[in-house]
Each structure stands twice: as structure tokens, then as C-alpha cells.
Amino acid sequence: MFSDLNNLLAISKENHLQGEFVVISSSKADGSFLIHHFLSFFLKQNKPVCFVGFSQSYNHYNTVAQKLSCNLNAAKTSGQLVFIEGMKLLGDAVSGNRLVKGDNSLMCNTDFDLQKFFLCIKSSLDSLKVNQSQDPVLIIDNLSFLHYIGCSIPQLVMFVNYLLGKVTSQGTGSFVLAIYNDMISVDEESDLLWKNLSHLCSLTCQVTGLESGYSKDVHGELLITWRSRDVKQSQTKKTQFKLLDKNVTFFASGMSSAVL
């Protein structure tokens, strides 16, 4: 949990993203630090969290969370956290040879069955809500993997819409979603996904690499945009960052300690 980032995102004690839909996009730089931040942040707020990890194994998330002084194992046993090992689930589904036992297969003919997967997430959200008597937070890292293995964009947008309805309908749950969006390369479909999601969401965090290329001391730029219905209120913030072992430092563009 990074306190600087909370200030940037205007997160305070009263307002911790209830009913918000946050989309994190990364291109040319790794935005996964935001995911780790949100995971430990919501767990420390005693919120029930459902986490779907497509990009890494549970072990990775757990080790990083420990560095941010947050224990995923304890949260799991206390029932505060439901961790869905999306990577393993997806890998087993597409390799097909050791399908999930019985007829619980997540594949429908040759395609990944998003509807079954939605029901799987829905049931864990429901059980979290009943057990913790609080609206849960859903974090998905990273939706683009579903696209890569062959889910079409309209399907994915529908999937996100269903999840959004499920999580934020009461106005107290939150939904954090990460995608890859390579604006530089010509991947039209991922651009389409990004446009659709930014249409739905209330807060976007765009992590991009530097325009001037790779640097050892400045790891990327973060553009935060609040989308409110009132045009006057919507605001953006741009900052550069450097990742450290257990923290992230933010500074204004061109104000890196390596430059000055």
C-alpha cells in the first residue's frame, strides 16, 4: 500500500472507492504495482476481496503482498479473501487434457466459456457478501489474457458489464480491472477493448513507458483520469514514477532525482 498513490487518487478515510469502477491500462511499462496496491489497500480496509489472477501465480501475489505488509494467507483463512487462480484455471482449460473434474469444464466446444466463468466468480462474490456482511471488491489481473486466448471483444465487454452490475449495483462494492493496451503498436482489438472499458468506468489509470524510451531511473508515466458525469469536475493528473523494492516514488515529469 503506497500512501503517495492514495493521495494522487484522492483516496481518503471517508472515500475509498465505494461504487467505483477502476480500469488500469499498461503499455510499454508494467502497471501491476497498481494491482498490488489495490489488493493490499482493500484488505487493510477490512473489505472482503475477490481476486482473479490471470497473469501470475498465487505465490507471486502473496510474496509481493508480504513486502507491502499484508498477509494473503491469513486473509484467505479468515474468509476475507477469495483468490481465484485464473492462470492455472485458464491453462488447464485450454490444454484440455486434464480438464477440471466432471462436467465443470470451462470450455464450450473450442472456446473458453465466459458464462460459466462468470457464474464461478458470482458464487464467490455471493458467499463473500454473506459471510462478511459487506459488499465485496472484485479485482481482475489481467483481462487481456482472456482476449489473447480467443475471447472476442463483444463477449468480454458483456462479461465486464455483468460483473459490474453484480459488484457495484448496491453502490458500495468496487471493481478494479487491469488490461494491456498497446497504443503504439497496431493492435486494433485491444484498443477497442480499452475504449469500451473507459466508457464504462469512473476512474482510469494509464501506465505508459516514457516517450523517449527506456530509462533505468524513471520507469514510466501514470495518467489518472476521473470521469464524472459533470464535465467540469472530471480531472486528470500526470506523474512519473520509479518502482523500488517495497515502494513506488512519484514525481512530476522531468523532476526525477536522477535528472536534477
Partner 1 sequence: MAAPMKQSQTSFQKKIPTKLQIPGTKPSLYNNQLLISTGIPSLDNVIGGGLAVGTVLLIEEDVFGGYGRLMLKYFCAEAVMTGQALFLGSMDNMPSQILNELPAPILDDPGPDSEQLVTMDTERMKIAWRYQHLPQFQSSPVGTKFGHYYDLTRSMELEVISSINTLLIGQSELTETGSSEHPMNPYYLQLLKRIQEKIESDGFGTAVQQEKRNILRIAIHSLGSPLWGENGGLNQNGNYDPSLPRFLLALRVLMRSAFAVCVITMPTHLFCDEGFVVRVERLCDTVVHLESFAGSEKEKNSLYKEYHGLFNIRQLPSLNSLTCHMPDTLDLAFKLRRKRFSIEKLHLPPELSETASRPQEDPLSNFKSPSQTGSCGTSLGFKNKLDF
Q: Which residues bind partner 1 (CB under 8 A)?
A: 30, 32-33, 36, 57, 59-60, 63-64, 67, 87-88, 90-92, 94-97, 107, 109-111, 144-145, 148-150, 180, 182, 185-190, 214, 216, 219, 243-246, 248
Between 96 and 154, name the residue whose CB sits nearer to partner 1. Answer: 96
In the complex, the smallest distance separating the C-beta of residue 239 from partner 1, rounded to whole angstroms, is 17
Between 113 and 237, name the residue whose CB sits nearer to partner 1. Answer: 113
In the complex, the smallest distance separating the C-beta of residue 122 from partner 1, rounded to whole angstroms, is 24
In the complex, the smallest distance separating the C-beta of residue 160 from partner 1, rounded to whole angstroms, is 19
> How far apart, in whole angstroms, are the C-alpha atoms of residue 94 and residue 111?
8
Q: What are the φ/ψ torsions at residue 221 (nearest 5 degrees)?
A: -120, 145
Task: Write out the three cell numbers for 101.
Answer: 473434474
Task: Write out the three cell numbers for 124.
Answer: 464467490
In the complex, the smallest distance separating the C-beta of residue 59 from partner 1, rounded to whole angstroms, is 7
In the complex, the smallest distance separating the C-beta of residue 91 from partner 1, rounded to whole angstroms, is 3
> How far apart, in whole angstroms, are the C-alpha atoms of residue 115 and residue 103?
14
Q: List, in sequence order, the alpha helices (H) in the chain.
A: 3-8, 32-44, 58-67, 72-77, 86-95, 114-132, 144-148, 153-168, 188-200
Provide CB contacts within 8 A for 119, sequence distance 6+.
Answer: none
Between 67 and 199, name the residue whose CB sits nearer to partner 1. Answer: 67
Between 126 and 217, name the residue whose CB sits nearer to partner 1. Answer: 217
3-state secondary structure of 87: helix
> Which DSSP symbol is given to 99?
P
Between 108 and 255, name the residue whose CB sits nearer to partner 1. Answer: 108
